[in-house]
């Protein structure tokens, strides 16, 4: 019989988590309004499938303003033709998100009065079997702006611009009805000088209304370029506070990491009090903020790194080959098992701590990692045996440790945690019960 | 004095970095891979510098009496431990910089790093930096190796640490000029590019404070045994490496640009040494000078 029988394991997906948790305002480009509306970018999610120089990038935005005001400018490394741009399925980002989300698992202690006393061994949870289930062209020569391509994809009207001067590009955008955030001009210049192009998208209202979409769908682009980077500087022009970016990096080799910032694993495999089950979103939010501050606000966090063939425990079912293709994975061979390694990076950035755009590299690192948080429920039934007392003492120590771990990870008030944790009291058996029971 | 040998200080400092890296920079380096790196470097060094010459000398001493010549006592020792110091430095360098999944990759890197000292020689001087050669060999020959340039971060604390410890070593070996020439040239090039692009200066500051760049500049670029002997040669050589690094990084987007630049330009040492001759560096120069029958080769 197993020491810790796993009754359930469950997961709170990060989608729920982030909708509750993160005051995110980010994008790798910037939104430009066509009306005088104060616009803020919301949590951005980007998926990048890359093998060699070939890249398919998916940008999912959860733009909150009026659709007719939506317009987006993103620097891209090459001129994108119509056939290299398409609209993705929003569900695929949700699938990537759910699959790679930090997860909460729970275990239930067995009755200590059953014959196997190994429960006293510390670290028993990790020794237990892994959980099985889970809930879980026209040219304006005076301005130096060239429209390299102009086309419509789905509900989007897209322009690919190249420019020679940032002031010309700024003027062109203003003349064409785009509202540029203040300070954007200086930031456009470095991209122009690096010979990058500008991907400008706005919503074709007629198409949007006709199709009856409720929200904007992700934009996908395919290109070849040795530049493996995400421009984040432009996205900081209209942000007032730190911004969150989740990047799903899909590779046939192994983990993807940043080369110009440290990539740090989020705290994982820690045991936390039972009550966190009901407030996992708050817990993760506080924990992330704490570790973000402890690292000086200048590192990127690895939340998940795994070969997508499997998962343990699974936050969501692995993506099918069809879903992987929808996520931009282009190297799958029919009939072969998909070789896709996913790295989920969570970058919370501000202008002063992240001065450079994000540069990535794919590595051969195949070490798996997941943000995993463990709840162990004590045995609450009747215990009538000598093993009960040591169990309760060990339990008390364990719960105190869980309280301290939680306080340390989240900076929550330790007394409040103790109150909420409703710690077990050791019920000592009177000595005479040994003979008079 | 043991510490007269700069290699000892270097071993101490590199071990300190490794300890700091493992404890504070949460690396993915595994202890077993550290052991493989150290074992492969030390074993290769012992085989090629002690065992092979020892066997050769034995064969020679066996042949000499046959030729009717009086036997000379072999001066080659089977266990000469001083030569292992350089190998230990190479091993620590590999541990700090190279990442891989398999033992074989680290063993290939370690053994080829040391073997390069014996294979690629000109006038009794090797011209590839062993650790750099090992890294490039692993990157080319396997699909399993990578270097993580971001993992040292950009902290002031590490900048100071590398500057002070690197400075101590460089003062001992007299190779300050190389690090300074490289860093000045690279800063100028990146600074000009930054100015031309129109980035704010904190972008440049962030690029230059990369711990990996400083570790390279102070601890890899300055290996006194493999770099040019004359000061002027070293400055030209370091500037050339800075220039090539700049091009590989910004034009070809290579995240490992510094290592490739050093690898490609290492053979330049031979040519520079023929133009500007200077005494070859010896680790135990001051100690050896006191010994009779020892002379230094000049290239």
B82-104 pLDDT, tens digit each: 678 889 999 999 999 999 999 99
Q: What is the pLDDT averaged over residues B267-287?
A: 74
pLDDT tens for A231-276 read 988 877 666 678 888 999 999 999 999 999 999 999 999 999 989 8
Task: State how far residue A324 is from chain B, nearest Cα, in angstroms.
Answer: 24
pLDDT band at residue B124, thresholds of 50, 70 and 90? Answer: confident
Distances B78 to A359, B5, B45, B52, B113 between C-alpha atoms, Å: 49, 22, 12, 9, 22
Nearest CB among A193, A259, A366 relative to B197 is that of A193
Least confident window among A200-209, A210-219, A321-330? A210-219
The verdict on a CB contact (< 8 Å) between B150 and A355 is: no
Greater confidence (A104 vs B174) lies with A104
Q: What is the pLDDT averaged over residues B234-247?
A: 95
pLDDT above 60 (res B298): no
Terminal Cα-to-Cα distance of chain A (whole angstroms): 29
pLDDT of residue A96: 92
The verdict on a CB contact (< 8 Å) between A265 and B26 is: yes
Interface of chain B against chain A, CB under 8 Å?
Answer: 25-26, 28, 99-101, 143-146, 148-155, 196-200, 202-203, 205-207, 210, 252-253, 255
Cα B61 to Cα A122: distance, rounded to the nearest angstrom: 64
User: In the numeric block, which tokens belong to residue A381?
Assistant: 């039934």
Nearest CB among B150, B198, B207 relative to A263 is that of B150
pLDDT band at residue B253, thresholds of 50, 70 and 90? Answer: very high
The verdict on a CB contact (< 8 Å) between B198 and A367 is: no
User: In the numeric block, which tokens belong to residue B97?
Assistant: 């910089």
pLDDT of residue B229: 85
pTM of structure? 0.84
Task: State how far residue B257 is from chain A, nearest Cα, in angstroms.
Answer: 12
pLDDT of residue A429: 67
Q: What is the pLDDT averaged over residues A82-92?
A: 91
The residues, ordered by sequence, that sit 6+ positions from A177 with a Cβ below 8 Å of its Cβ are A34
Cα A317 to Cα A315: distance, rounded to the nearest angstrom: 7
pLDDT of residue A15: 33
Task: State how far residue B193 is from chain A, nearest Cα, in angstroms.
Answer: 10
Task: Evaluate whether B154 touches A296 at the Cβ level (below 8 Å).
Answer: no
Residues of B in contact with A365 (CB under 8 A): 28, 99, 101, 146
pLDDT of residue B283: 60
The residues, ordered by sequence, that sit 6+ positions from A403 with a Cβ below 8 Å of its Cβ are A273, A414, A417, A418, A421, A423
Residues of B in contact with A261 (CB under 8 A): 150, 153-154
Range of A181-185, B47-51, B268-272 with top mean pLDDT: B268-272
Closest-CA residue in chain B for A260? B150
Task: State how far residue B17 is from chain A, nearest Cα, in angstroms.
Answer: 16
Taking residue B196's Cβ as centre, other Cβ atoms within 10 Å add up to 11
Residues of B in contact with A366 (CB under 8 A): 101
User: In the numeric block, which tokens belong to residue B130?
Assistant: 């062993």
> Mean of the per-residue pLDDT values for chain A?
80
The verdict on a CB contact (< 8 Å) between A260 and B149 is: yes
- Strand A270-271 relative to strand A85-87, pairing: unpaired
pLDDT tens for B153-189 read 888 888 899 989 988 888 888 788 999 999 999 999 9
Task: State how far residue B19 is from chain A, nearest Cα, in angstroms.
Answer: 17
pLDDT band at residue A14, thresholds of 50, 70 and 90? Answer: very low
Q: Does A259 lie at the interface with B, CB-CB under 8 angstroms?
A: yes
pLDDT above 90 (res A166): no
Greater confidence (A67 vs B77) lies with A67
pLDDT of residue B173: 80
pLDDT of residue B249: 95
pLDDT of residue B284: 61
Q: Does A298 lie at the interface with B, CB-CB under 8 angstroms?
A: yes
pLDDT of residue A178: 80
The verdict on a CB contact (< 8 Å) between B252 and A364 is: no
Task: Evaluate whether A201 touches A219 at the Cβ level (below 8 Å).
Answer: yes
């Amino acid at each position: 019989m197993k020491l810790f029988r796993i009754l359930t394991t469950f997961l709170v997906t990060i989608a729920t988590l982030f909708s509750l948790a993160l005051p995110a305002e980010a994008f790798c480009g910037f939104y430009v309004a066509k009306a005088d509306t104060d616009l803020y970018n919301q949590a951005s999610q980007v998926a990048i499938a890359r093998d060699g120089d070939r890249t398919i990038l998916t940008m999912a935005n959860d733009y909150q303003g009026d659709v007719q005001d939506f317009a987006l400018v993103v620097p891209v490394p090459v001129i994108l033709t119509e056939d290299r741009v398409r609209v993705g399925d929003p569900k695929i980002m949700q699938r990537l998100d759910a699959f790679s989300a930090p997860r909460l698992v729970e275990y239930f202690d067995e009755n200590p009065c059953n014959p196997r006393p190994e429960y006293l061994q510390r670290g028993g949870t990790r020794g237990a079997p892994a959980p099985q289930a889970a809930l879980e062209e026209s040219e304006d020569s005076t301005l130096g702006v060239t429209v390299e391509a102009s086309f419509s994809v789905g509900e989007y009207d897209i322009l690919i611009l190249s420019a020679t001067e940032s002031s010309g590009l700024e003027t062109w955008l203003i003349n064409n009805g785009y509202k540029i955030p203040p300070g954007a001009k200086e930031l456009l210049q470095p991209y122009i000088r690096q010979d990058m192009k500008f991907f400008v998208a706005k919503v074709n209202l007629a198409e949007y209304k006709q199709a009856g979409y409720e929200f904007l769908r992700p934009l996908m682009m395919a290109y070849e370029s040795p530049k493996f980077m995400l421009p984040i500087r432009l996205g900081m022009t209209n942000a007032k506070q730190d911004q969150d970016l989740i990047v799903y990096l899909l590779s046939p080799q192994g983990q993807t990491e940043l080369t110009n910032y440290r990539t740090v694993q989020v705290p994982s495999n820690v045991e936390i009090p039972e009550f966190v089950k009901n407030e996992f979103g708050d817990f993760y939010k506080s924990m992330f903020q704490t570790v973000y501050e402890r690292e000086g606000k200048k590192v990127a966090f690895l939340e998940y790194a795994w070969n997508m063939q499997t998962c343990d425990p699974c936050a969501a079912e692995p993506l099918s080959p069809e879903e992987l293709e929808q996520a931009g994975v282009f190297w799958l061979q029919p009939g072969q098992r998909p070789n896709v390694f996913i790295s989920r990076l969570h970058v919370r950035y501000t202008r002063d701590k992240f001065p450079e755009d994000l540069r990535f590299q794919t590595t051969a690192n195949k070490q798996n990692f997941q943000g995993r948080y463990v709840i162990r429920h004590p045995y609450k039934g009747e215990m009538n045996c000598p093993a009960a007392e040591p169990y309760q003492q060990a339990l008390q120590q364990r719960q105190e440790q869980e309280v301290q771990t939680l306080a340390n990870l989240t900076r929550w008030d330790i007394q409040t945690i103790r109150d909420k944790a409703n710690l077990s009291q050791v019920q000592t058996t009177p000595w005479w019960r040994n003979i008079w029971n | 004095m043991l510490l007269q040998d700069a290699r000892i200080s270097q071993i101490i400092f590199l071990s300190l970095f490794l300890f700091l890296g493992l404890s504070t920079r949460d690396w993915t380096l595994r202890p077993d891979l550290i052991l493989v790196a150290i074992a492969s470097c030390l074993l290769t060094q012992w085989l090629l510098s002690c065992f092979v010459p020892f066997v050769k000398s034995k064969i020679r001493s066996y042949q000499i009496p046959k030729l009717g010549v009086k036997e000379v006592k072999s001066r080659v020792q089977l266990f000469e431990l001083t030569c292992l110091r350089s190998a230990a430095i190479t091993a620590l360098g590999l541990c700090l910089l190279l990442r891989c999944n398999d033992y074989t990759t680290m063993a290939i890197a370690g053994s080829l790093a040391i073997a390069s000292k014996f294979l690629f020689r000109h006038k009794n001087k090797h011209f590839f930096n062993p650790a750099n050669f090992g890294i490039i060999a692993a990157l080319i020959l396997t699909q399993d190796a990578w270097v993580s340039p971001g993992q040292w971060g950009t902290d002031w604390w590490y900048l100071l640490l590398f500057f002070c410890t690197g400075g101590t070593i460089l003062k001992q070996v007299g190779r300050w000029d190389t690090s300074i020439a490289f860093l000045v040239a690279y800063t100028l090039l990146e600074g000009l590019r930054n100015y031309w692009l129109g980035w704010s200066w904190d972008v440049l500051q962030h690029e230059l404070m990369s711990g990996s760049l400083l570790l390279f500049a102070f601890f890899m670029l300055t290996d006194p045994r493999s770099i040019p002997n004359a000061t002027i040669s070293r400055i030209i050589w370091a500037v050339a490496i800075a220039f090539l690094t700049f091009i590989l990084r910004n034009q070809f987007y290579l995240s490992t640009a510094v290592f490739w630049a050093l690898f490609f330009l290492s053979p330049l040492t031979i040519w520079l040494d023929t133009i500007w001759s200077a005494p070859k560096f010896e680790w135990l120069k001051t100690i050896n000078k006191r010994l009779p029958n020892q002379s230094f080769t000049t290239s």
